[in-house]
Amino acid sequence: MQNLVYWQLVTKMVTFTRLCQWLCLILLMLLKTECTDKVNITFLKSAVTKGAVCLDGSPPAYQLDEGFGDGVDKWLIHIQGGGWCESTESCLLFVNKTNGVGSSKLMNKFRFSGVFSKKQSQNPGFYNWNRVIMRYCDGASFTGDVEKLTLGARIFNAIMKELLAKGLNHASNALLTGCSSGGLAAILYCDKFRAMLPETSRVKCVPDAGYFVHVKDISGKYHFQKFFNKIIKLHNSKINLPSSCTSKMKSGLCFYPQFILPEIKTPVFVINSAYDSYQVQNILAPEEADRYDSWSACKLNTSNCSRTQLMKLYGHYSKRTLNALCIVHPNIDRASKILVFFSDFRSDFIKALRSGMGRSKFNSTSRGLFINSCYSHCQTGFQASWLGAAASKLDNMAIAEVVSDWFYERNTTQLIDHQHIMPQQC
């Protein structure tokens, strides 16, 4: 009897041990899969002697996941976002940020997902390309040129020189992308990027959440423009902005794509949300314009918005649309339907977008649009929004599908979401 109990215990222990082994193996496989999505950082130490350095003097950096198959001569260069610093004090804060946007010493590896993924099922148009993330650390969209502070323009040139030597100079196809302040950089450097590559190459640019608009805020003023003015002055960015713009207007306005895009010759596809969360929080309702802090809760979650705030966001709609809005959102009552507000952000955003696109000398097939209603900022680097979540799709097409069709000239697409009158959680 004792032997029987003994062998039963042994059997249970063996079974438990095998179960643990299987669980450990599965865990290791998951960890290995996660790690394969992370690409090593290359620190460009040779660029330091040429003055191409981050805000703290550390070397610039990039991540490169090499292409394979028929993608070995195709390149996707992505400029990371990270905001801007407009004063010496704010730049010092950037240096100490743990996400490394001011110093390569603090940079962590980015996981390559969304438009960076090497899996065909997740990134059908660009999965086997050489995919590069140019790491952001200058605080001025790579436009700075001030000794002992910021030399972002030199960083862009240094990394491009390195990549050209690695095969970019023989690219058959090339795409310059960027997110947020990096998306703005992708617009600013679009024609320069084109000029660096062979004339026979197909070269295009896709800024993501980089179309910052010049519109009035809730106080009726342009507080955000003052912020851009300070950035350009501190970093001496004017010399690296398009002369076609700076020769016509103040340099501070030449950080706004609506004034830059009309002169860009290279094909551009704009990805943005009409309710871009950063722009709602900083252009529509910046702290300087919100004297009584009445927008804080609304900016964090649109379900907290008052009827007046919602109307400022949603814009001027037909009677039928407003009746529907009253039903689906409890914070809007019938009296709101007759109110007219000057700060109609969505409407102003679309007007600024059409202004930049419509007045372009190089319009038609060279310009693409994907403007959804997600209350978010940057979408191409996230798998769910790049090729997945239904909420981020337009005409039942994901961003990945539309951009790929546009790049390969299978279809010319300019999509703007007119179905949703409220910001969507995507």
SS (H, E, C) the chain: CHHHHHHHHHHHHHHHHHHHHHHHHHHHHHHHHHHHCECCEEECHHHHHHCCCCCCCCCCEEEEECCCHHHCCEEEEEECCCCCCCCHHHHHHHHCCCCCCCCHHHCCCCECCHHHCCCCCCCCCCCCCEEEEECCCCCCCCCCCECCCECHHHHHHHHHHHHHHCCHHHCCEEEEEEECHHHHHHHHCHHHHHHHCCCCCEEEEEEECCCCCCCCCCCCCCHHHHHHHHHHHHHCHHHHCCHHHHCCCCHHHHHCHHHHHHHCCCCEEEEEECCCHHHHHHHHCCCCCCCCCCCHHHHHCHHHCCHHHHHHHHCCCCHHHHHHHHHHCCCCCHHHHHCCCCCCHHHHHHHHHHHHHHCCCCCHHHEEEEEECECCCCCCCCHHHHCCCHHHCECCECHHHHHHHHHCCCCCCEEECCCCCCCECC
Q: Which is it for the CA torsion 369, 370, 374, 378, positive or negative?
A: negative
Token pair of 240 as six digits: 């690296």
Token pair of 31 as six digits: 């960890």
pLDDT digits (tens, 9 = 90+) for 106-122: 999 999 999 999 999 99
pLDDT of residue 222: 96
Q: Please enumerate in sequence order all residues whose Cβ is within 8 A of that of 284, keeping only pairs 6 or more positions apart, or say none.
A: 215, 217, 218, 312, 313, 343, 345
pLDDT of residue 337: 31
Which residue among the candidates 180, 336, 392, 404 is catalytic per the annotation? 180
Distances (CA, A) of 143 to 48, 104, 106, 114, 255: 17, 18, 22, 27, 10
Q: Which domains does the chain have, with CATH numbers?
A: 41-290+346-416 (3.40.50), 295-340 (no CATH)
Which residue among the candidates 141, 277, 377, 385 is catalytic per the annotation? 377
Q: Is 180 a catalytic residue?
A: yes
Q: Which of 97, 87, 182 is nearest to 141 (CA)?
A: 182
Q: In the beta sheet, which residues pair with residue 23?
A: none
Q: For the chain, which ranges sit under pLDDT 70?
A: 1-37, 148-150, 311, 313-343, 358-364
pLDDT of residue 358: 63
pLDDT digits (tens, 9 = 90+) for 381-408: 999 999 988 889 999 999 999 999 999 9
pLDDT of residue 115: 98
Which residue among the candidates 276, 290, 348, 417 is catalytic per the annotation? 276
> What is the value of pTM for the model shown?
0.84
Q: Is 377 a catalytic residue?
A: yes
CA atoms of 359 and 179, how far apart (whole Å): 24
